[in-house]
Amino acid sequence: MRFMLKCVVILLFLAAAVAAAQEWELGASGGFGVTLNPTVTSGSASGKAGFKYGLAAGAVAGHDMYERLSGEFHYLYRVSDLKVTGGGQEAEFNGESHIIHYDLVYHTAGRGERIRPFVAGGAGLKVYRGTGAERAYQPASAFALLTRTQELKPMVSAGGGVKAALTERLQLRVEIRDYITPFPKVVVAPAPGARIKGWLHDFVPTVGISVRF
């Protein structure tokens, strides 16, 4: 919780730094994340290692730089329980992730339009955290170990959505993003002799409300 509050404070500070003399917006959203987990191999056997589906909640601070181009700071909290399956066994472990990123947003309609579809892309950081209680024995430990640690990874953000004006200042945001990172091999540690290939794709659709100033 302390880490999440620090992230929100940083987000608001950055938003204030870029807001002067520009039209900007503040908003909040909620959604649900789905991770595409990579394959883990151990000898001739294989399984899956990564993260479970989970709820997400976030905040956004944006600034209009041009008629159709904006910049947005995002923070997202994601329930990210750890998971590994293989050899007919399955293990789970409580976890969470914190995402901070900056996106450039291109709208297909101008500021005065009520409906503004957009595409977005940017980069940032994702913190993976295992928060469960470690035990002496874990099922599927021949494939990966789920640990009570945290790991920081660089991240690419890509997605799009639509903004719909509800009033002159209030707008609805419906969007989806793919958060792409290298696999966190400290939080989900491959067992000796096991291999995990590929990057993690975390798809998070959200619905939110924002206020324009």
pLDDT over threshold 60, residue 3: no
Q: Half-sphere exposure of 18 toward its Cβ, with a 13 Å CA cutoff?
A: 18
Which pLDDT belongs to residue 11? 54
Q: Work out whether the CA dihedral 160, 161, 165, 170 comes out positive or negative.
A: negative
- State how far the Cα of 91 lies from the Cα of 193, in Å rounded to an integer: 19
User: Which is it for strands 23-36 and 82-86: parallel, antiparallel or unpaired?
Assistant: unpaired
pLDDT in tens, 142-187: 999 999 999 999 999 999 999 999 998 999 999 999 999 999 999 9
Q: Which domain holds residue 136?
A: 2-212
* Mean pLDDT value across residues 67-82: 96
Give the CA count within 13 Å in the CB-facing half-sphere of 153. Answer: 24
Higher-scoring residue by pLDDT: 198, 76: 76
What is the C-alpha separation between 109 and 129, in angstroms, rounded? Answer: 39
pLDDT-derived band at 18, boundaries 50, 70, 90: very low
Q: Which of 88, 20, 95, 114 is nearest to 50 (CA)?
A: 95
At residue 6 the predicted structure's pLDDT band, cuts being 50, 70 and 90, is low
CATH of the domain at 141: 2.40.160.20
CA–CA separation, 145 and 67 (whole Å): 50
Return the residue matching tokens 């950081």.
Answer: 125
Coil vs helix vs strand at 17: helix
Residues 106, 110, 114: CA angle, nearest 5 degrees: 110
**How do residues 100-155 score in pLDDT, each as one tens digit?**
999 999 999 988 899 999 999 999 999 999 999 988 899 999 999 999 999 999 99
Helix (H) or strand (E) holding 14: helix 2-19
Tokens at residue 35, please? Answer: 């991770």
Q: How far apart are the first and last CA of the chain?
A: 29
Phi-psi region of 86 (alpha: psi -120 to 50; beta: other; left: phi over 0): left
Q: What domain count does the chain have? A: 1
pLDDT at 22: 54
Cβ atoms < 10 Å from Cβ of 154: 11
Smallest Cα–Cα separation from 209: which of 168, 164, 161, 176?
164
